[in-house]
Amino acid sequence: MTVDFQPTLEVIYSVDSGVATLTFNRPEKLNALTPDMMADFFGYVDQAAADPSVRVIVITGAGRGFSAGLDLAVIGTGTSGHSQRISNLPQTRQWGDDVGPKLQRFFSTGWNNLITSRKPTIAAVNGAAFGWGFILALHCDIRFASKSALFNATFARIGVPAEKGIGWLLPRLIGTARAADLLYTARRFDGIEAERLGIVNAVLSDEELMSHVKTYALAIAANSAPRALAAMKAQIWTAMDDTYDDAFAAANLEQDLCTGTEDFREAFSSYKEKRTPVFKGR
Specify the range with the lowest mean pLDDT, choosing from 100-109, 140-149, 202-211, 257-266. 100-109
User: Coil, strand, or helix at residue 252?
Assistant: helix
Span 135-156, average pLDDT: 93
The torsion defined by the Cα of 211, 145, 103 and 179, in degrees rounded to 10, comes to 170
- The identity of residue 177, as a single letter, is A
Residue 147 lies in a domain: yes
Strands 150-152 and 188-190: antiparallel
pLDDT at 266: 64
Asked if 27 and 142 sit in the same domain, the reply is: yes
Residue 175 lies in a domain: yes
Residue 242 confidence class, pLDDT cut points 50, 70, 90: confident
Q: To the nearest whole number, what is the mean pLDDT of the chain?
A: 80
Query: In this prediction, what percent of the chain has a pLDDT beyond 90?
Result: 45
Residue 6 lies in a domain: no
Asked if 216 and 238 sit in the same domain, the reply is: no
Give residue 238's domain range.
224-272
Asked if 134 and 241 sit in the same domain, the reply is: no
Asked if 228 and 265 sit in the same domain, the reply is: yes
Strands 11-16 and 19-24: antiparallel
Asked if 32 and 72 sit in the same domain, the reply is: yes
pLDDT at 127: 95
Span 209-232, average pLDDT: 92
Q: Which residues contact 84 (CB under 8 A, 6 or more apart)?
A: none
Residue 94 and residue 174: Cα distance in Å, rounded?
A: 31
pLDDT digits (tens, 9 = 90+) for 25-48: 999 999 998 888 888 888 899 899
Phi, psi of 269 (to 5 degrees): -65, -45
pLDDT digits (tens, 9 = 90+) for 65-101: 999 988 877 765 444 344 444 344 444 333 333 333 3
Span 225-231, average pLDDT: 86
Q: Where does a domain end: 202, 222, 242?
A: 222
pLDDT tops 60 at residue 277? yes
Residue 158 confidence class, pLDDT cut points 50, 70, 90: confident
Asked if 234 and 198 sit in the same domain, the reply is: no
pLDDT tops 90 at residue 59? yes
Closest CA to 219 of 231, 207, 208, 211: 211
pLDDT tops 70 at residue 119? yes
Asked if 101 and 236 sit in the same domain, the reply is: no
For the chain, the domain total comes to 2
pLDDT digits (tens, 9 = 90+) for 92-112: 333 333 333 333 333 445 677
Asked if 241 and 191 sit in the same domain, the reply is: no
Q: Where does a domain end: 200, 222, 244?
A: 222
